[in-house]
Amino acid sequence: MQNEINLTQIRDEINSIDKELVKLLEKRFNLVLKVGEYKAVRNIPIFDEGREKIVIEKCKKHLDNKKYESYIERLYLQIMNTCKDIERDEIKIL
């Protein structure tokens, strides 16, 4: 059926975008770990509210369609929460 073929094609495209997203997220995680190490050796707190606001504002500006702004905001809060978890879990300064 035409509709099923179309669904498969769209899902293939989603799969390939997910592949790129995961690769980029992994790069982001690796960079965040470097920030975490920098902070750990200097005793700087992981959470930086001002930086998180800047990240969200910058990301919203990258959107072509402003109707997604609040979704990008929520998604980035979640991404940064996960990044903070990674910093807490992975960085062990003895």
Ligand X SMILES: O=C(O)C(=O)C[C@]1(C(=O)O)C=C[C@@H](O)C=C1
- Interface with ligand X by CB under 6 A: which residues? 32, 35, 46-48, 51-52, 55, 80, 83-84
Kindly state the smallest distance separating residue 16's Cβ from ligand X, in Å.
25
Nearer to ligand X, 12 or 47 (CB): 47
Least distance in angstroms from the C-beta of 60 to ligand X: 14
Q: Which structure tokens are listed for 7?
A: 């669904």
Please give the Cα distance from 31 to 34 (Å, whole number): 5
Residue nearest ligand X (C-beta atom): 83
Q: Which is nearer to ligand X, 14 or 63 (CB)?
A: 63
Q: Give the largest CA-CA distance in the chain.
A: 61
Judged by CB, which is closer to ligand X: 33, or 69? Answer: 33
State the Cα–Cα distance between residues 32 and 44, nearest whole angstrom.
Answer: 14
Closest CA to 58 of 33, 79, 37, 34: 79
